[in-house]
């Protein structure tokens, strides 16, 4: 198991390294002159030269990259246009987005897995059709529009929930949930739709399997058969799907924060692009990639742990 | 003398028979047929926009701002007095174009690379696998947003960005298919009979991948449609005054209180367009799956 | 008093294309510690009839008749009552050891489940009983095996685990549905040996469903031959092999290659034709269109079971003799 772990982590690190190169090159490829963005509004050549020198923009690219990477590994992602530490900004904003994402994943999993199991167990009956339709709608709806619609209905018309903003959990737990409820639902809809379909398909396969017949022949209650035997195997299959969907969740957070006016990490990406703030953008995208790769690694490892075939032999059967 | 004729005759009819069978199976699924019809409706809207739209979508009329639905303006007007219905009709162009072209671009990139890597393996395969992993380290939309930002805002660039962003996922699928297909017995038999690689790929690998690829395409199109809407929403795609559903949504935000209609209509358009392709895709997947019975 | 008394069991599946009569008025009895072999080709209804007893069939199955254990009729009892019987009084072993065990649960847990459900044992007691059971079915190193997963065991061992699960609550009846079909011949012998041992030691009655006559000859006391959902012959095992009465049984036995016997001088005896569709219940002998003795009588009337020798029943108008007489 140890070697297996090491190989997976190693592969992830290589991917990250290459991704960092991509991020660096990508940021440099953005149109516009960084020197201008960094403060030389008057376009005085001498000032531009000074700025270029200060930010090492006159050095060859590989050297700039190495310098940047070296600092990044130490936790220093440079300073953005407003002379604020990028790393600091990121660190303060990430918890907000993490909280929103965790909330969204929770909602997505509960609704998705729950409705998927229901649909499979009540196959062909109204509950099945309702769940399947809901999943289809959830897949096709542009979630940023869903967000706007929910704001119109729940915040403007019914006035039940606030239209945006963020209140931290420490300050006021109730307000915190009230503010995050709509964004989390919006963000979690896509996940729940995908999970519902996967879960339904997986449960139908499981319920058809020989070992379920054995479980029934043992005289176990129907609850036991569904919950302990069929569901267990299906959940393991679904883990991989969750991992794949997390990327969509991260992208979704970007827009959702924009719509609901939440000053989170996702919003930072948009701001950075709009303001052509390269240092900030580099830092943000790098952190996104790192986060995404590590979350996928974690999901991969969780799956390996849950699947007895892999756990025992250290590789897929 | 009729040797050649009968060979040709028996070669045509199985294929034609199969096509008829598939059509019958498809027609038995009302939802899939509905999806096809609605999708075709949107495509028609996109192609024949100038003929269908009652007004010029960029024509301003400052005397009729934010009007509700009337006989002259069936869906009302927006914040600059433009007819919403016409903007929706023209907006279909951006969405369908982006959706379909981006998917085609993604396929055109992904299939050759994926099949080559999966079939020939060798030194090419690990490189392709690594590069795909790296690119997939970024979520699809982030990638698309980044590329669109680099290329500059325009519909064409947004389409390219979406296509390139969707390609790595498709490369994985194509590679996986090629990898498993090359192990099939009929491929081994063909190799044993001395068939060359190109002929094997052309006659055995690619045709057996078409089902999976078709299904993937029908899933990618709605993702690309929504992707175009997102990019336009963020200002990275279609530029005003050209209409696009995403741009309309973005412009509608300040008027959420007074005229929710401005946000409702383009969103519904995106929703139904995406839904129709999803229904179509689901239906096709069912029809092409040999395991389903009807 | 027989342990199990089945009368006029009928199973009909209502499918989209019409009804399928899988089992037609099957009656039989099973005594304590008896081994009953149920023989027939695939699709003749042998598995379906035994699964019908404890309501293990899907909802599309309509079941008629009665099946009494003591004074309880299984077919008309409530599902919770039947669930108490399943695994406790009547236990099953199925054909596919590779897929009949849950791949994500440890062996020990899968055995303990039954014990906890029916006998209400504590976790500890169940665990030690599970180890005992693994010993009973002759699995080496049972302490270790108890914590392993199914994929770590071979096919033969998995089947033994299935038998252990079935025996956990000391059932009166063990229904083994083609238990050795998916296994190698050498492993087969071991499993049959084990079943013999179980019957001797625990006194369990066994219903052995199979299409393999060799297995039947090996361990059954009595044999029941089924064809197209009906019982066509029933006899003590020696009688059946020495003097088969129904042409179908005769044909089956003729089709088995036996080294050194006269029949290997020529071709193996085949039974021409195919099993009839189960969609209608013809008013005729169900074997008529494949039988060399068919005549107007057998084509227009269904023969009822008659006792032609003591303990030997056959449903035929022209029983006895060799294949074509």
pLDDT band for position A110 (cuts 50, 70, 90): very high
Task: Considering only the beta carbons, identify the residue of A16, A30, A140 that sits closest to B278.
Answer: A140
**How close is the nearest chain A Cα to the Cα of C13, in Å?**
18
Chain B interface includes A104 (CB < 8 A): no
**How close is the nearest chain A Cα to the Cα of C43, in Å?**
18
**How close is the nearest chain A Cα to the Cα of B250, in Å?**
10
CB contact under 8 A, A218 and C56: no
CB contact under 8 A, A217 and C117: no
Return the pLDDT at C91. 93
Q: With contacts defined as CB-CB under 8 Å, which chain B residues touch A19?
A: 134, 137-138
Return the pLDDT at B11. 54
> Is C33 part of any domain?
yes
Task: Considering only the beta carbons, identify the residue of A220, A236, A317 that sits closest to C117.
Answer: A220
Q: With contacts defined as CB-CB under 8 Å, which chain A residues touch C87?
A: 217-220
Return the pLDDT at A317. 41
pLDDT in tens, chain B (294 residues): 334 444 444 555 777 888 888 888 888 888 889 999 999 999 999 998 888 888 887 777 777 777 777 777 788 888 887 888 888 998 898 889 889 999 999 999 999 998 888 888 888 888 888 888 888 878 788 888 888 878 878 888 889 999 998 998 899 888 888 888 888 888 888 888 887 888 888 888 888 888 888 888 888 899 899 889 888 888 888 887 788 888 888 888 888 777 888 888 899 999 999 999 999 988 888 888 777 766
Return the pLDDT at A98. 87
Chain A interface includes C172 (CB < 8 A): no
Strand C61-69's sheet: what is its strand order?
C18-30, C4-15, C61-69, C72-73
Q: What is the C-alpha separation between C108 and C8, in angstroms, rounded?
A: 39
CB contact under 8 A, B140 and A145: no
Q: With contacts defined as CB-CB under 8 Å, which chain A residues touch C83?
A: 219-221
> Is B10 part of any domain?
no
> Is C130 part of any domain?
no
Q: What is the C-alpha separation between B171 and B132, in angstroms, rounded?
A: 8
Return the pLDDT at B34. 92
Strand C205-210's sheet: what is its strand order?
C90-93, C173-177, C205-210, C35-39, C222-227, C230-236, C312-314, C306-309
CB contact under 8 A, A219 and C151: no
pTM: 0.80
Chain B interface includes A193 (CB < 8 A): no
> Is B14 part of any domain?
no
ipTM of the complex: 0.82
Q: With contacts defined as CB-CB under 8 Å, which chain B residues touch A14?
A: 130
- With a CB cutoff of 8 Å and minimum separation 6, the contacts of A104 are A183, A184, A185, A187, A188, A191, A249, A252, A253
Neighbours of chain C (3+ CB pairs under 8 A): A
Return the pLDDT at B259. 80
Return the pLDDT at B2. 39
> Is C123 part of any domain?
no
- With a CB cutoff of 8 Å and minimum separation 6, the contacts of A60 are none
Chain A interface includes B90 (CB < 8 A): no
Neighbours of chain A (3+ CB pairs under 8 A): B, C
Q: With contacts defined as CB-CB under 8 Å, which chain A residues touch C105?
A: 229, 232
Among the listed ranges A88-97, A139-148, A303-312, B229-238, which one has the minimum average pLDDT value?
A303-312
Residue A296 tokens, joined: 């996928």
Relative to beta strand C35-39, strand C205-210 is parallel
pLDDT tens by residue, A272-300: 877 777 778 888 888 888 888 888 888 88
Residue A33 CA from chain centroid, whole number? 31
Note down the domain range covering B173: 20-288
Q: What is the CATH number of the domain that holds C74?
A: 3.40.50.300
Q: Which of C54, C88, C91, C100 to mutate to test the interface with A (most CBs of A within 10 A)?
A: C100
Note down the domain range covering C249: 4-89+171-314
Chain A interface includes C241 (CB < 8 A): no
CB contact under 8 A, B137 and A16: yes
The total domain count for chain C is: 1
Which residue of B lies nearest to A270 if distances are taken between CA atoms? B234
**How close is the nearest chain C Cα to the Cα of A224, in Å?**
10
On the question of pLDDT at A313 being above 70, the answer is no
Give the C-alpha distances (Å, rounded to integers) separating A164 from A151, B1, B248, C81: 8, 80, 21, 57
> Is C320 part of any domain?
no
Q: What is the C-alpha separation between B246 and B225, in angstroms, rounded?
A: 10
**DSSP H helical segments within A122-172, as ranges?**
126-140, 143-150
Chain B interface includes A136 (CB < 8 A): yes
Chain A interface includes C85 (CB < 8 A): yes
Residue carrying the six token digits 């092409």: B288
Q: Measure the CA dihedral C255/C261/C267/C273, to 10°.
A: -20
Return the pLDDT at B4. 44
Q: Which residue has the higher pLDDT, C63 or A242?
A: C63
Q: Which residues of chain C have pLDDT under 50?
A: none
Q: With contacts defined as CB-CB under 8 Å, which chain B residues touch A270?
A: 234
Chain C interface includes A124 (CB < 8 A): no
- Tally of CB atoms within 10 A around B90: 23
- Tally of CB atoms within 10 A around C62: 13
Burial (CB count <10 Å: 0-12, 13-18, 19+), residue A244: middle
> Is C108 part of any domain?
no
Residue carrying the six token digits 């045709």: B207
Chain B interface includes A288 (CB < 8 A): yes
CB contact under 8 A, B139 and A140: no
**How close is the nearest chain C Cα to the Cα of A232, in Å?**
7
Return the pLDDT at A48. 73
The total domain count for chain B is: 1
> Is C136 part of any domain?
no
pLDDT band for position A112 (cuts 50, 70, 90): very high
Chain A interface includes B138 (CB < 8 A): yes
Which residue of A lies nearest to B280 if distances are taken between CA atoms? A136
Interface of A with C in 215-244 (CB under 8 A): 215-221, 224, 229, 232-233, 236
On the question of pLDDT at A316 being above 60, the answer is no
Task: Considering only the beta carbons, identify the residue of A220, A232, A236 that sits closest to C113.
Answer: A220
> Is C200 part of any domain?
yes
pLDDT tens by residue, A52-85: 777 677 777 788 888 888 887 887 777 776 777 8
Chain A interface includes C60 (CB < 8 A): no
Q: Summarize chain C as % helix, strand, coil (round to 5).
A: 35, 25, 40
Task: Considering only the beta carbons, identify the residue of B136, B142, B274 that sits closest to A250.
Answer: B142
Chain A interface includes B216 (CB < 8 A): no
Interface of C with A in 144-163 (CB under 8 A): 149, 151-152, 162
CB contact under 8 A, A140 and B253: no
Torsion sign, CA atoms B77, B82, B87, B89: positive
Q: Number of Cβ pairs closer than 8 Å across A and B?
A: 118
Residue C299's H or E segment, with its range, is helix C296-300
Residue C29's H or E segment, with its range, is strand C18-30
Interface of B with A in 118-137 (CB under 8 A): 130-131, 133-137
> Is C114 part of any domain?
no
Return the pLDDT at A104. 93
Q: What is the CATH number of the domain that holds B238?
A: 1.10.3720.10
CB contact under 8 A, A229 and C96: no
> Is B28 part of any domain?
yes
């Amino acid at each position: 198991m140890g070697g297996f772990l090491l190989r997976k982590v190693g592969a992830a690190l290589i991917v990250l390294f290459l991704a960092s190169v991509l991020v660096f090159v990508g940021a440099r490829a953005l149109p516009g002159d960084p020197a201008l963005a960094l403060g030389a509004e008057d376009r005085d050549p001498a000032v531009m030269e000074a700025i270029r020198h200060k930010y090492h923009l006159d050095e060859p690219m590989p050297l700039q990259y190495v310098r940047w990477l070296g600092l990044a590994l130490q936790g220093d992602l440079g300073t953005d246009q407003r002379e604020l530490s990028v790393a600091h900004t990121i660190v303060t904003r990430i918890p907000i987005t993490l909280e929103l994402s965790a909330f969204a994943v929770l909602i997505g999993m509960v609704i998705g897995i729950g409705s998927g199991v229901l649909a499979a167990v009540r196959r062909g009956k109204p509950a099945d059709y309702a769940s399947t339709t809901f999943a289809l709608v959830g897949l096709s709806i542009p979630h940023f529009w869903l967000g706007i619609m929910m704001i119109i209905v729940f915040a403007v018309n019914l006035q039940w929930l606030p239209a945006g903003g963020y209140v931290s959990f420490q300050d006021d737990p109730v307000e915190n949930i009230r503010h995050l409820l709509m964004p989390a639902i919006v963000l979690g809809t896509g996940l729940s739709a995908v999970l519902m379909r996967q879960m339904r398909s997986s449960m139908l396969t499981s319920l058809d399997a020989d070992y379920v017949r054995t479980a029934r022949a043992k005289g176990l209650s129907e609850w036991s058969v569904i919950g302990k035997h069929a569901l267990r195997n299906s959940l393991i299959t679904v883990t991989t799907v969750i991992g794949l969907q997390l990327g969509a969740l991260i992208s979704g957070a970007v827009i959702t924060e924009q719509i609901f006016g939440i000053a989170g990490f996702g919003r930072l990406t948009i701001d950075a692009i709009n303001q052509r703030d390269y240092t900030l953008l580099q830092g943000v995208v790098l952190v996104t990639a790192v986060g995404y790769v590590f979350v996928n690694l974690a999901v991969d490892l969780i799956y390996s742990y849950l699947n007895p075939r892999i756990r025992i032999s250290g590789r897929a059967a | 003398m009729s040797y050649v004729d009968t060979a040709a005759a028996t070669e045509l009819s199985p294929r034609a028979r199969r096509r008829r069978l598939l059509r019958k199976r498809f027609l038995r699924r009302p939802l899939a047929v509905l999806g096809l019809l609605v999708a075709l409706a949107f495509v028609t809207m996109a192609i024949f926009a100038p003929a269908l739209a009652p007004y010029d979508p960029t024509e301003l009329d400052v005397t009729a701002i934010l009007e509700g639905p009337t006989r002259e303006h069936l869906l009302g007007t927006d914040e600059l007095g433009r007819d919403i219905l016409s903007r929706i009709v023209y907006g279909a162009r951006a969405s369908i174009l982006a959706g379909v072209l981006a998917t085609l671009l993604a396929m055109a990139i992904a299939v050759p690379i994926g099949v080559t890597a999966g079939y020939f393996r060798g030194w090419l395969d690990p490189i392709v696998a690594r590069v795909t992993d790296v690119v997939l380290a970024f979520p699809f939309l982030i990638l698309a947003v980044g590329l669109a930002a680099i290329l500059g805002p325009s519909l064409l660039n947004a389409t390219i960005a979406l296509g390139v962003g969707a390609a790595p996922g498709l490369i994985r699928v194509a590679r996986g298919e090629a990898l498993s297909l090359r192990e099939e017995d009929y491929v081994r038999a063909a190799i044993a009979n001395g068939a060359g690689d190109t002929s094997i790929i052309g006659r055995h690998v690619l045709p057996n991948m078409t089902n999976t690829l078709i299904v993937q395409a029908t899933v990618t199109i709605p993702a690309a449609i929504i992707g175009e809407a997102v990019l336009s929403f963020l200002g990275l795609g279609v530029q005003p005054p050209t209409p696009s559903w995403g741009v309309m949504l973005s412009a509608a935000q300040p008027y959420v209180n007074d005229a929710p209609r401005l946000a409702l209509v383009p969103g519904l358009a995106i929703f139904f367009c995406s839904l129709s392709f999803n229904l179509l895709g689901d239906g096709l997947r069912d029809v092409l799956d040999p395991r389903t019975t009807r | 008093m027989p342990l199990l008394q089945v009368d006029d069991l009928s199973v009909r599946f209502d499918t989209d294309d019409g009804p399928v009569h899988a089992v037609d008025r099957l009656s039989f009895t099973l005594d304590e510690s008896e081994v009953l072999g149920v023989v027939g080709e695939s699709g003749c209804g042998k598995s379906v009839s035994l699964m019908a007893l404890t309501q293990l069939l899907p909802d599309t199955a309509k079941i008629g008749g009665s099946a009494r254990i003591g004074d309880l009729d299984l077919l008309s009892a409530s599902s919770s009552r039947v669930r108490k019987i399943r695994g406790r009084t009547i236990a099953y072993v199925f054909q596919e050891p590779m897929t009949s065990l849950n791949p994500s649960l440890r062996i020990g847990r899968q055995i303990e489940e039954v014990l906890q459900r029916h006998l209400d044992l504590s976790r500890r007691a169940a665990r030690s009983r599970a180890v005992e059971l693994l010993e009973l079915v002759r699995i080496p190193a049972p302490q270790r095996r108890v914590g392993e997963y199914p994929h770590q065991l071979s096919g033969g061992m998995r089947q033994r685990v299935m038998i252990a699960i079935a025996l956990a609550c000391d059932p009166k009846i063990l229904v083994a549905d083609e238990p050795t079909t998916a296994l190698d011949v050498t492993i087969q012998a071991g499993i049959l040996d084990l079943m013999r041992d179980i019957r001797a030691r625990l006194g369990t009655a066994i219903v052995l469903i199979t299409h393999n006559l060799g297995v039947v000859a090996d361990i059954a006391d009595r044999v029941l031959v089924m064809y197209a959902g009906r019982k066509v012959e029933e006899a003590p095992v020696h009688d059946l092999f020495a003097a088969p009465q129904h042409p179908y049984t005769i044909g089956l036995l003729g089709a088995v290659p036996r080294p050194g016997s006269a029949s290997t001088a020529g071709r193996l005896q085949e039974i021409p034709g195919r099993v009839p569709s189960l969609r209608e219940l013809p008013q005729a002998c169900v074997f008529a269109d494949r039988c060399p003795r068919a005549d107007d009588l057998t084509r227009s009337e269904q023969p009822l079971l008659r006792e032609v020798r003591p303990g030997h029943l056959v449903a035929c108008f022209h029983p006895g003799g060799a294949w074509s007489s």
